Chain A
């Protein structure tokens, strides 16, 4: 059995289901078996489904079939029958273990209420003129990438997002939703037919020969196709970023929707949370709601170095960061030793194609990268940009797409 699941336990609804759905029939002491196995498995399925595991009736039927093949009166056999069919992820296992223990032994795990509405409304502040000095470069690249639009947006473009009123925020959200992020491309292994001479395509050439009865024909050609590079977004949702996190996550949502390439989104706070799945929906509001439910540590402190290490250990080194464009969206306030962050940034720089650091505070007048973590990280950053306004985020999109390159 796994470690204490209390910290992982997601939904109060699960407890109700355990009490109501699986009920008395399922609860029994270990020595007298585990009760009606079908009831246990159905209860497991329903509890896990409400814990976010996407367990449908088909999976439960599969679990029952597996249990029937084994010895369903044995607790271990029942455990494995359920685990092999209902789980699809290492993250599912602690939840499964907790629910299984609760159903077969009778003790209900400690519950923690799910955070309800944590994407906070940005406080309406008085209009503060933006002193940002990045007017020149937005002119230059304005025609690319962007499909934002509308003239009202223009006035918004350079305002710091923490200073916007409610109506302006709604406008900004719409503009962000229209943003597209094509991503930088790289040559693929795959070859495509091409009308221009290059490498001969033996398959198509021989096929053409065959069609003309074996008489020589013109050779057919191929060229290498290109694929977009994967993009990884690491969004800091700690307390110091509270005014920007929502906007940055909306940006991440627009980025995650791009077709044909992988985009992974993680949040950094007191812990690392993968929110790629939650980002998958088309509707930004719904996606933001899902993210709010999935991230347990809004506005906590930041342990950038430790979290970056966790990201690299669990995802990055295995492939998620390899050859990818990695964007870190953070102000670089590090509670721990900045040296840890520096070492992890070095690792990241060796794996990734390009590392972009987006710091919303860099748009403030008189900004200097003095935050300890940031200073340690900068030597390994390829591009350093601000992300405080729509214009700055558009610029970030162009940089991720490889259209514009700006040195750190």
Chain B
């Protein structure tokens, strides 16, 4: 190994990576940057777990931007199978090829058969695509939605970054892709898979970082609006809601208010745009009982 792994030129420490990620609009804290740094350098997948909307998927996109590599995404769902994640044979094309070859004058069954099971008739699904694309960033999104059998299979691919196709042989990645695996923790993912990865738990960011993220994402919003929206979102997280707002919701809310041309957050506007942050009827009712104005004031003062 060259010892640098996939690290881009000029990145010598996690701190450098924080800078690069910020350049592409992702504000990582030290822990996350360290995890990503180690993952890139030592060719290990990064296992990100955390609440919905804390930026797990965004991290993969940002890494792809930093590396200048394509992002290959595998969205997991219940019942996902190897043929949807790894590869599949293109039977109709094989058939067509066979019929065409038969029609030709010099039909040689052995040669045609060898052709039928060659790489050109293999349809690469995301995992194989990522192994064959150098460099690339592979995002295995919401792995907790897939069945546990699928985990075992994923483990096999992520352990040695190679795939064995019985008819074709072993396909190995020259340079392993950068891998980000995300989970919303709807169930416990098996230890064996986590062991292959660096495990990072993402929390909601602290106030200043979140304000910075909102300002970066919603440049059209005023500084005051960003701070007030973030303060209100933080207050809502403490307000005992069914679904506390994530960063994505804070950004959506700021965007909605900026689109209305609001210079700051006031109770009337907050009530009108509440649908951007609060997604349950019970939560809406709960928030209506809170004094939004006082909430913002207290949060801004406290921050």
Contact = CB atoms under 8 A, between A and B. Distances in A.
Contacts of B41: 69
Contacts of A264: 187
B187 A262 contact: yes
Given A76-B30, A214-B98, A190 B79 contact: yes
Given A76-B30, A319-B144, A59 B198 contact: no
Given A71-B13, A88-B191, A319 B186 contact: yes
Contacts of B38: 66, 69-70, 81, 84
Nearest to B39: A84
Nearest to B33: A80
A237 interface: no
Interface string B159-182: 000000000000000000000000
Given A54-B191, A210-B98, A90 B201 contact: yes
A177 interface: no
Interface residues on A, range: 35 or more
Given A66-B38, A70-B34, A84 B200 contact: yes
B194 A88 contact: yes
Interface in B267-303: 282
Interface stretch (A15-23, A39-47, A163-171, A201-209): A201-209
Interface string A55-70: 0001100000110011
B187 A319 contact: yes
Interface in B90-105: 91-92, 94-95, 98-99, 102
Interface string A241-277: 0000000000000000000001010000000000011
Interface string A314-352: 010111101000000000000000000000000100000
A173 interface: no
Contact of A88 (B42, B81, B199): B199
Given A80-B34, A83-B31, A65 B242 contact: no
B120 interface: no
Given A85-B198, A206-B95, A214-B98, A80 B31 contact: yes
A69 B91 contact: no
Contact of B42 (A65, A71, A347): A65
B198 to A, nearest CB: 4
A93 interface: yes
A118 B95 CA distance: 67
A77 B34 contact: yes
Contacts of B94: 210
Interface string B13-42: 110000000000000001100110110011
A190 B14 contact: no
B95 A70 contact: no
Contacts of A111: none
Interface in A54-110: 54, 58-59, 65-66, 69-71, 76-77, 80-81, 83-85, 87-90, 93
B91 A210 contact: yes
A113 interface: no
A93 to B, nearest CB: 6
A106 B198 CA distance: 27
Contacts, number: 94
A318 B184 contact: yes
A213 to B, nearest CB: 7
Interface string B23-63: 00000001100110110011000000100000000000000
A347 B243 CA distance: 12
B224 interface: no
B195 interface: yes
B78 interface: yes
A214 B199 contact: no
A190 B187 CA distance: 20
A206 B34 contact: no
A260 to B, nearest CB: 10
Contact of A84 (B35, B188, B282): B35
A203 B237 CA distance: 49
A188 interface: yes
Contacts of A196: none
Given A54-B191, A69-B42, A83-B31, A347 B242 contact: yes
B194 A189 contact: no
Query: Would you list the 6 A-B pairs with minimal beta carbon distance, nearest first?
Result: A319-B186, A189-B79, A206-B91, A84-B198, A80-B34, A88-B194
7 contacts: A69-B37, A80-B14, A189-B79, A202-B91, A213-B98, A264-B187, A277-B188
Given A210-B98, A318-B186, A319-B186, 12 more contacts: A69-B37, A83-B31, A84-B31, A84-B35, A87-B199, A88-B199, A90-B49, A209-B95, A319-B144, A319-B187, A322-B186, A347-B282
